[in-house]
Structure 1
Amino acid sequence: MGLRRIVLWDIDHTLIDTRGVGRELSGIAFERVTGRRMERQARIDGLTEPVIFRETARLHGLATSGEDFERFAEALAEAHLQRAAELRERGHALPGAAAALDALAALPGVEQAVVSGNVRPVAEVKLGVFGLDRHIRWESGAYGEDAEERAELVRIALERAGLSASDAVLVDDTPAGVGAALANGVRAVGVATGRSTAADLVAAGAETVLIDLADTDRVVSALS
């Protein structure tokens, strides 16, 4: 690794859990844009927001356009801003998340950014309400509005950060996130705090799998 290094964080079920608030807000935005109540939602683990929106619409017999997604993204961001206090009250940062971010920020040359399927305004609210945003270089991350495929998000983040794959490590709770890192030659550390098991993350190719982020020393060791 060079003098500069970057840790690329996933958000949902890696750093935070919205405890259902995220789905509710997606439903509000979906109905605002389509005029239809969101009866069910497409699988979300490891997918980006434009894919989730399109597939959810398809479950309701609806075809959508890029313009529809832009409207949905705006409505979703607005809903998160309006109900940020509720998100803070009902959701929570995962154990050890804040300590891990703080510890990594104290290391010379280590930068932290986000690679997330969330659109950036939503990502900012989700981390901000739990005080997890102060070490994040938002301009070095990649978000749901940037690309549909997670592997492309990793590539974009590296480009924005001005770093090579060997100078990066990605942390994610899904096999899709792990696969996106590996597709770009980036080290992947899995964290089994979502729906995927440690075995799932190992099978996907994660170099290291953490049960959670509670052991700060172990997290720093895995990501350094």
Structure 2
Amino acid sequence: MSADRETASRFGAILRTWRRQNNLKQASLAHQLGVSQPAIARWEKGVDMPSPAMAARIRDLMSQSSNRELAVQKLLTERVSCIRALFDFEDMRLLAVSDGFRAIWPKFTDYLGVSLRDDLVNEAALVSHDRHLRQEILDGSVGLISGVSVNHTRLQVVTAIRHKWHASFRRFGTRVYIDMIYEPCSQDLNPGLIDVVRFDEVPELLIGEGPARSSDQD
């Protein structure tokens, strides 16, 4: 694949994921941008790229909505009592933790705002560093990963506790974030990845309630 085609494909995947997560039809987005619905379809398929000016306008639109959504997501994470944390996937920067997280790993909150990518181990390192899986996540193909771990980093501030975790991936604007939920599990469970859920395996999740449809306008 040429560099130009790869850029168009990546841009299209980001646009498609953002549009669907914001419950926008291609026709609605086209109306906002003053272009045709087929133009949106071509961009999302990676067949064409918008002009530099239009691409900048689209990124601005993504950014405006993503800043509000990310602020709400951080607030939600901080308010719930379950064991939960929010990360920026690209550099594994810790953005927010719940009260439940603070209760189990209180010293870990010293790393709020810090990139942990170079300190990851075991299953966390696999999700972050595996080249193929990482690209699938950045392209918006992977929605959820579940696993069992004893620890996620080599940092000494974290108590090693065997637990099950679920990582859902959301795109706010041009960046991908991980909503991590942790739960106690049997000590007999072996560490490792349990499941990787890709959106094309559950297309109904992308279009809301009702039967899945294949229309490019969804």
TM-score for the superposition, normalised by structure 2: 0.29
Of the two structures, which has the highest relative contact order with CA contacts closer than 8 Å and spacing of 6 or more?
Answer: 1
TM-score for the superposition, normalised by structure 1: 0.29
Instruction: Considering fraction of residues, name the structure with more strand.
Output: 2
